[in-house]
Structure 1
Amino acid sequence: MLYRVLIVEDEVFMREGLKNLIDWRELGFEIVGEAEDGLSAFEFLKDTQVDVLISDIKIPLLGGLDLIEKVKKEIKNPPEVIIISGYADFEYAKKAIQHGVVNYILKPIEEEELVDTLLKIKSKLKRRELIKEGENLSELEKGFKKTLENSNIKIENGIYVGIIYFKEMSNWLSLFLDEKIENMLSRIKECFEQLGKDGLIYEFSEIEGRYYTFATSEEDIKKAYQLIKNMLEFAKEVVFAFSRKITKLTQFYEAIYEAAYSLNFSLFYNHTGITFYSNNLPNSKEILYSKEYDRRLILAIEEDSRDLHKIIKEMMEDIKKERYQLDFLKTYLSFVVVSISSYFNKIGLNLEDYIEWFSGLKLEFSNVEEIEKVMIKFCEGILNKFKHWKISLSNGIMSELEKYIRENYNKNLTLKSVAQKFYLNPVYLGQLFKKHHGMYFNSYLQKIRIEEAKKLLMTTNMKIYEISQAVGYNDTDYFIQCFTKLCNMTPNQFRKKYRKA
């Protein structure tokens, strides 16, 4: 699930810059709306559920702080708020904090600060979801007990707890709620009332489009499924997800989780119809991990093969056919990714960014088609990196590296940053340097910097601390120490000796 974001900023270029500053989806967010002024933003928030509001403090019609105050008072589930501003004004910041904003970010917006703030919000939203889940479970249990008593059904004889989900309804409800939808919801309610009177299935609660029910037999559940399909012509894609049979009230929570797992399983594989927890879901321990697809994908990447998409499609078909449990499927995909990454890391290709990207997904896929897209993106990314890496090697990568270091020696260069620039494993790059230059990367960089410092000492009147900064040393004492070690004299001694000469 992606958390929903609204951006409020009157300057178009600032909005576009904010949208493109980070990979929102990778962090678990999606931008669902934009507004140029506070009033438009408020109208949007009245109609659309948003998790995060990012607003400039200076916006037309209704200022940022006034917008927040109005939202907190009048919106039922107000979003978390980030304020952005070009003004480092203490009073503004103080008022923003009083309104409960998560952060007050000054322009120009730093990527790292925005990411840290969003991760903080994500953690807060996750905690809120867990609290809400606990409250929902408590309400479900109350509804279950009450309906059980009113129906004069003895749980000791065995019942199945289930969730009935109308896929079409869920899609419509996320977009709008009008008279037509309300009529459909009313007909669903009437349908459940009729099923209860017929003694087939009993609805005890409804939360966010999921109807929680119970029934006394598999036969009744199958009859109820057919009747719902017949009575509600719009229910073409309805999912019945049920637990195993329970005989005690203490088994209720376990049954709810089994029903929820069955529903997630059905939605993941795009199934409709009836799913019982124990009958249709295979045991993940019985499925052995095979490296067949790892090997085929590695070979396709190495050979720049057109079969890459075909292999991934075949892998997805196998997944659909085996109907893996979701927990096992996540493990399976992690094995494939780690296996491919390990192979290319060993030959010197740095894939840290792709591993971080894949890890950041948390494998929270809503259906099997999303997995296919992710695997294609992952493998194509490695393929492109591998091609670039091979070309770099064949063109004489050391000469490119030397040129890059000579042009950027005064910047904050590290072995890791240079390795990432040239798509290399840092360990492999360190070995290349040692072999080619007879010294390690840091020693080579220091040598270049001291050479440049010598030129400045002989040709300019710059102070020692200015030269230190000009060649990439922020610490003047450390610069003098490095210079003395390499030249057997201090920078001042070098200047006196060679400028006189």
Structure 2
Amino acid sequence: MIRVLIVDDEPFIRQGLKILINWEQYGYEIVGEAANGIEAIKELETKDVDLLIVDIKMPEMNGIELIEYVRENILTEVKIIVLSGYYEFEYAKKAIKCNVTDYILKPIQRDELVKVLNSFKEEYMKQKKQNTVQKIKDKVVYDRFLNEIIYGKCNDSNLKYIKKRQIFSSELRYMIIEINYCNNDEINISENEKMEQQQIFYQNMISWLGENYYNVIIDMGQSKECYDIGFIYDKRLAKEKGMNESEYILNFKSGMQQIQKHDFFIYIGEKVNSIEEISLSYKSATVAKLFSDFSIESNITYYDEMAKRKELSCNAGKQYMDYLIHEIEDNNKEEIVKCVDRIYTSFREYKINLDIIKININYLLCNLINIAKELDSEINQEEVMQYISSVSFEQMISRGSANHLKTFSLEFAEYLSQLRQNSFQGILNQIDKEISEHYMEKLSLKYLSEKYYINSAYLGQIFKKQYSTSFKDYLNAYRIEKAAELLKRSDDKIYKIAEKVGYNNTDYFINKFVQLKEKTPLQYRKQFCCR
């Protein structure tokens, strides 16, 4: 509803306006009335008003004076419609110079009022939509700069941008909000559904925070499988509600539980003194998330509680990783599972530095690359890196990361075993046959690797070694050759030919054709028709 304040010194005109039309029917709500400009200012100080309907001639403070005051002192964008008699037109012209939206002549006619209100509503809704779009754009840019600071890339440029739009106090904490999808029998929930629920939770937090919505942020980190939401707790937020930190966080949790479908966990980083230090709080919140006690009743974990534990040395962490590397190399599945469990159990007993965790994970990955390299000297190291990025540090720091590391370790153990044992020529012959017989279907390395029981990363490597190109590029080239044959031998439409050779998207097919043949399909066909 558009909120309206009526200002006129004549009571019967104010009353007449209120009953002249059904305001709600036209999308309006009369939130107050005033007999002059001074009373109107008092109303504006206590109520949210979108539209002022103002009489020109009034005692104490007339309409022109009120309009000038509003334009100079009221920061919110209040629109104004002027009421004036036939003999007050000079006043109306002055009002127009003060950027009023419209004016209505007295005596007020119902049809004219409706016409003006409908016109105003149309512009109001259009402006509101534009403002919403602009707010979203501004928030996206703000979040990008804030994410850089959170990830430790604090510089004068992003700091200046953030401080211009938000004032932070000297007591901040970074909080990670993790949605728990396992509460509602939704263990197999898809990635798209998780993304949707993240957006819903994000919007619910924005609604709950009101004017402080800039403190909530979507994590734009490197991990594609992370659907956490960030929240910068600021002492000012608690102070505004007359609460201390603990009370505010519990109040936040309670408020979100009332409007949120899924249960959630809260991981709270260490306290820092400025936004420049928020990356320290983010790192510690990440540690709280990674090694929290999942049985906690309140679903709230403070890093402060973990900071009391004794520290794990780099050497101790290295010993755990050395043992895991040995078991992966031997493809000892039972010991791999036990080893990962021991790693996580011991990590939870100690105060963990995030940088030490990262060093240990990178140590593990580098050693596995070297082992693969020793087994096959011609192996493409970059492709192995892409494969093992599935256990990158950023993806590892999520609930269930022990299972994630187990899965990766078992798969890589099998991968190393295949490097030792597989003779790839026979498999490539089968793959070649698959392409020639089924090129028009959905073929992928993943599908073929599952069909022929071979690791997809290894299959991609041996394919490239044999054909000097990637599987995807080889398949595209094969399909384009088949399309070229059809263009010469048939008069089928371009989109039909695209479908026959395996492309559902005609534009993509045309782009690939031009890329490989340096002509559009139509140009290619015409060159043969003219011969």
TM-score under structure 2 normalisation? 0.38
TM-score under structure 1 normalisation? 0.39
State the structure with more CA Rg.
2
